[in-house]
A and B are shown apart, each in its own frame.
Chain A
Amino acid sequence: MKRKERKLIKTTTWSAGPGCHGGCGVIAHIEDGRLIKIEGDKEHPWNQGRLCARILAMKQYIEHPSRLRRPMINTGERGKGKWKEVSWDEAFDYIEKKMKAIRDEYGPESMIFAMGTGRDIGPWICMLAYAYGSPNVMFALSGNACYSPRIAALDTFQGDYCVFDAAQWLQKRYDEPRFKVPECMIVWGYNIHATCPDNLFGHWIVDLMKRGTKIISIDPRLSWFASRAKYWLRIRPGTDSALAMGFLYVIIKEGLYDKNFLNNWTNGAHLIRKDTNKLLRESDIIPEGKNDNFVAWDEKEKRPIVWDTSILEYRPYVKSPMITGNCKIKTIDGKLVVCHTVWDAFCKKVFEYDPEKVSIITGVPAKDIIEAARFYGKGKPASIHWGVPIDMTPNITPLCHAIASMWALTGNLDIPGGNVFSRFAFDAVAYALPGAEGVIKLKSKEQDLPRIGADKYGPFRKFIWRCQTDTAFEQIFTKKPYPIKGMWIQTCNPLAGIGMDPKKWEEALKRLDFVVGVDLFMTPTMEYADVVLPAATFLEKDGVRSWWVPLQSINKALSVNECKSDAEINFELAKRFDPDFKWNTLEELFDEIIKPSGLKFKELKEKVWVFPPEGHPSHPYHRHEKGLLRPDRRPGFQTPSGRFELYSILREEWGLEPMPFHEEPPFTPISRPDLAKDYPLILSTGRRSPVYFYSEHRMIPWLRHLDPDPVVEIHPETAKEYGITNGEWVFVENWMGRARFKAKVTPVVPQWMVMAAHGWWFPEKKGEENELYGVWESNINQLIPMNAHGKDGLGAPIKHLLCKIYRA
Chain B
Amino acid sequence: MEEKGIKGLLIDYEYCTGCYTCVVACAQEYNWPEGISGIKVMEIVENLPGGKHYLVYLPFPTEVCTLCASRTKKGLEPACVKHCMAGCMKYGTISELAEEMGTKKRMVLYRPR
Interface residues of A, Cβ cutoff 8 Å to B: 37-40, 47, 49-53, 56-57, 59, 192-194, 202-203, 206-207, 209-210, 222-224, 226-228, 690-691, 701-706, 746-748
Query: Are A52 and B53 closer than 8 Å at their CB atoms?
Result: no
Known A40-B82, A193-B17, A224-B18: A747·B53 in contact at CB below 8 Å: yes
Query: Are A52 and B85 closer than 8 Å at their CB atoms?
Result: yes
Question: Would you give the 0/1 interface string for B69-113, flagging 1 where the beta carbon is closer than 8 Å to chain A?
Answer: 000000000000011111100000000000000000000000000
**How many Cβ-Cβ contacts under 8 Å join chain A to chain B?**
97
B-side contacts of A748, CB under 8 Å = 45, 53, 55
Please measure, in the bound complex, the distance between the C-alpha atom of A203 and the C-alpha atom of B27, giving whole angstroms: 22
Complex: chain B residue closest to A54, CB-CB: B24
Chain A nearest Cβ from B84, distance in angstroms: 7
Chain A nearest Cβ from B106, distance in angstroms: 10
User: Contact partner of B29 among A37, A50, A223, A227, CB < 8 A?
Assistant: A37
Which residues of chain B from 1 to 60 have any CB-CB distance to chain A below 8 Å in the complex? 14-15, 17-21, 23-25, 27-29, 33-35, 45, 47, 53-55, 57
Q: Which of A56, A59, A207, A748 has the most CB of B within 10 A?
A: A56
Chain B nearest Cβ from A438, distance in angstroms: 32
B-side contacts of A206, CB under 8 Å = 15, 17, 85-87
User: Contact partner of A57 among B19, B24, B35, B84, CB < 8 A?
Assistant: B24
Query: Are A701 and B33 closer than 8 Å at their CB atoms?
Result: yes
B-side contacts of A194, CB under 8 Å = 19
Shortest 8 CB-CB distances between A and B: which pairs?
A193-B17, A701-B34, A227-B55, A705-B34, A53-B24, A56-B24, A203-B85, A193-B19
Query: Are A56 and B25 closer than 8 Å at their CB atoms?
Result: yes
Known: A40-B82, A223-B55, A706-B24. 7 other contacts (CB 8 A): A56-B27, A192-B17, A193-B17, A203-B87, A206-B85, A209-B15, A747-B47
Query: Are B57 and A193 closer than 8 Å at their CB atoms?
Result: yes
Complex: chain A residue closest to B41, CB-CB: A706
B-side contacts of A226, CB under 8 Å = 55
A-side contacts of B14, CB under 8 Å = 228
A-side contacts of B86, CB under 8 Å = 203, 206
B-side contacts of A193, CB under 8 Å = 17-19, 57
Query: Are A702 and B24 closer than 8 Å at their CB atoms?
Result: yes
Please measure, in the bound complex, the distance between the C-alpha atom of A63 and the C-alpha atom of B15, giving whole angstroms: 33
Q: Which of B17, B34, B84 has the most CB of A within 10 A?
A: B17
Query: Are B82 and A691 closer than 8 Å at their CB atoms?
Result: no
Interface residues of B, Cβ cutoff 8 Å to A: 14-15, 17-21, 23-25, 27-29, 33-35, 45, 47, 53-55, 57, 82-87
Query: Are B34 and A702 closer than 8 Å at their CB atoms?
Result: yes
Query: Are A40 and B33 closer than 8 Å at their CB atoms?
Result: no
12 contacts between A and B (CB under 8 A): A40-B82, A52-B19, A57-B28, A203-B17, A203-B86, A206-B17, A222-B55, A224-B18, A690-B18, A691-B20, A703-B24, A748-B45
Complex: chain B residue closest to A192, CB-CB: B17
Query: Are A59 and B28 closer than 8 Å at their CB atoms?
Result: yes
Chain B nearest Cβ from A47, distance in angstroms: 8
Please measure, in the bound complex, the distance between the C-alpha atom of A129 and the C-alpha atom of B4, giving whole angstroms: 66
Query: Are B23 and A706 closer than 8 Å at their CB atoms?
Result: yes
Query: Are A51 and B20 closer than 8 Å at their CB atoms?
Result: no
B-side contacts of A210, CB under 8 Å = 15, 87
Please measure, in the bound complex, the distance between the C-alpha atom of A40 and the C-alpha atom of B77, giving whole angstroms: 12
Chain B nearest Cβ from A781, distance in angstroms: 25
Query: Are A56 and B55 closer than 8 Å at their CB atoms?
Result: no
Query: Are B19 and A56 closer than 8 Å at their CB atoms?
Result: no
Chain B nearest Cβ from A173, distance in angstroms: 13
Query: Are B85 and A50 closer than 8 Å at their CB atoms?
Result: yes
Query: Are B53 and A56 closer than 8 Å at their CB atoms?
Result: no
Please measure, in the bound complex, the distance between the C-alpha atom of A203 and the C-alpha atom of B89, giving whole angstroms: 14
Known A701-B33, A702-B34, A748-B45: A53·B20 in contact at CB below 8 Å: yes
Q: Which of A192, A210, A224, A701 has the most CB of B within 10 A?
A: A224
Query: Are B21 and A50 closer than 8 Å at their CB atoms?
Result: yes
B-side contacts of A223, CB under 8 Å = 55
Please measure, in the bound complex, the distance between the C-alpha atom of A127 and the C-alpha atom of B55, giving whole angstroms: 46
Chain B nearest Cβ from A622, distance in angstroms: 30
User: Contact partner of A51 among B18, B27, B53, B85, CB < 8 A?
Assistant: B85
Q: Which of B18, B19, B24, B85 has the most CB of A within 10 A?
A: B85
Known A37-B28, A224-B55, A705-B35: A56·B83 in contact at CB below 8 Å: yes
